[in-house]
């Protein structure tokens, strides 16, 4: 017998590892399948009479201790395999997995499904993570690279320009809230003819245009969702753009969603909907959050001042 204990962030790529062990004849004991707590998983471990893999996040020393104790008490070799990945990559993985499961993304997550957890789960995981070591009692610890988001060009072949909205497509620095609360406040970022002349060649080359915007004023109560929509429609009308715009209504803190930039929710939504290849896309924006949003998705960022010259 042998026990392999997997550890790592949610959506870090542990499932790919377990597939390899299945081929080698291991029994997979997954908390996602068993449910309950680590104690419930341990009960199944005690019943298992073959070499096994304990599949779970197992992020802390406390969460791993009972499995180590059982292995030592029963003279069973136990190895930990830590799947190393960034929280940002795991978020992108989790979002793509949501799409595969449902054909959509629940930006606030859904605790009723183990693969549709809220974004706060990842932030908590990063906070509590204790990287496993031999000192805990493992016979060995392997650290392997987790799954990095990748895009098959046969599936993800389209290209797009992602636009931030406030401070990018429309001028807002003079407004009280730095975003319009009425369509009458919507004006183009710079000379409208120049903006059209810059954008038009991309349209002719087959780029899809999409917008991604943080609109926390909805949660704050300074603007309604309906008024945000009217302002977005006005933005598209004055620039004569055929584009889908998505916006996040949530507050910056506490983190409660996948959609507020720099989180990747709106990006993965458009990547999946239009089968976009991030390497062929551009993100145009004015804030660090826009640049970080692009970086996490593998999209090239261009500052608005370099785009509308």
Q: If pLDDT is split at 50, 70 and 90, which confidence band does 244 have?
A: very high
Q: Are 301 and 291 within 8 A, CB to CB?
A: yes
Which pLDDT score, from 0 to 100, does residue 278 have?
Answer: 98
Q: CATH code at 282? A: 3.40.50.1000
Which pLDDT score, from 0 to 100, does residue 3 have?
Answer: 97
Average pLDDT (106-130) is 91
In this structure, the answer to whether residues 141 and 226 fall within a common structural domain is no
In this structure, the answer to whether residues 173 and 303 fall within a common structural domain is yes
Average pLDDT (268-283) is 99
Which pLDDT score, from 0 to 100, does residue 154 have?
Answer: 97
In this structure, the answer to whether residues 271 and 182 fall within a common structural domain is yes
In this structure, the answer to whether residues 272 and 181 fall within a common structural domain is yes
Residue 133 has pLDDT above 80, yes or no: yes
Which pLDDT score, from 0 to 100, does residue 238 have?
Answer: 96
Which pLDDT score, from 0 to 100, does residue 282 have?
Answer: 99
Q: What is the Cα–Cα distance from 186 to 203, expressed in whole angstroms?
A: 23
Q: If pLDDT is split at 50, 70 and 90, which confidence band does 25 have?
A: very high
Average pLDDT (198-220) is 98
In this structure, the answer to whether residues 171 and 67 fall within a common structural domain is no
Q: Are 129 and 9 within 8 A, CB to CB?
A: yes
Q: Count the Cβ atoms, other than its own, within 10 Å of residue 86.
A: 14
Q: If pLDDT is split at 50, 70 and 90, which confidence band does 164 have?
A: very high
- Is 174 part of any domain? yes
Predicted TM-score (pTM) of the model is 0.94
**β-strands 140-145, 160-163 pairing:** unpaired
Among the candidates 78, 111, 145, a domain finishes at 145
How many separate domains does the chain show?
Answer: 2
Q: Which domain holds residue 237?
A: 160-307
């Amino acid at each position: 017998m042998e026990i392999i204990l997997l550890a790592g962030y949610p959506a870090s790529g542990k499932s790919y590892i377990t597939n390899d062990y299945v081929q080698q004849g291991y029994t997979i004991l997954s908390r996602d399948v068993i449910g309950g707590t680590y104690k419930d998983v341990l009960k199944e471990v005690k019943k298992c009479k073959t070499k096994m893999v304990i599949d779970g996040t197992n992020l802390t020393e406390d969460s791993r201790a009972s499995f180590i104790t059982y292995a030592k008490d029963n003279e069973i070799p136990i190895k930990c395999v830590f799947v190393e990945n960034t929280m940002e990559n795991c978020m992108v993985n989790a979002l793509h997995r949501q799409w595969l499961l449902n054909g959509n993304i629940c930006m606030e997550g859904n605790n009723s499904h183990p693969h549709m957890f809220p974004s706060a789960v990842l932030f908590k995981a990063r906070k509590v993570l204790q990287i496993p070591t031999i000192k805990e009692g493992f016979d060995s610890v392997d650290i392997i690279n987790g799954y990095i988001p990748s895009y098959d060009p046969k599936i993800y072949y389209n290209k797009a320009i992602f636009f931030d909205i406030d401070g990018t497509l429309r001028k807002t620095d003079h407004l009280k809230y730095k975003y319009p609360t009425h369509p009458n406040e919507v004006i183009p970022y710079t000379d409208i003819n120049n903006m059209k002349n810059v954008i038009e060649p991309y349209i002719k080359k087959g780029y899809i245009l999409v917008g991604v915007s943080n609109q926390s004023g909805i949660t704050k109560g300074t603007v309604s969702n309906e008024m945000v929509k009217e302002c977005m429609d006005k933005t598209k009308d004055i620039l004569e753009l055929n584009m889908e715009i998505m916006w996040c209504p949530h507050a910056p803190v506490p983190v409660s969603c996948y959609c507020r930039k720099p989180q990747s929710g709106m990006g993965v939504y458009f990547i999946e909907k239009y089968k976009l290849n991030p390497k062929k896309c551009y993100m145009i924006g004015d804030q660090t959050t826009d640049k970080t949003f692009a970086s996490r998705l593998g999209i090239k960022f261009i500052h608005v001042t370099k785009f509308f010259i």
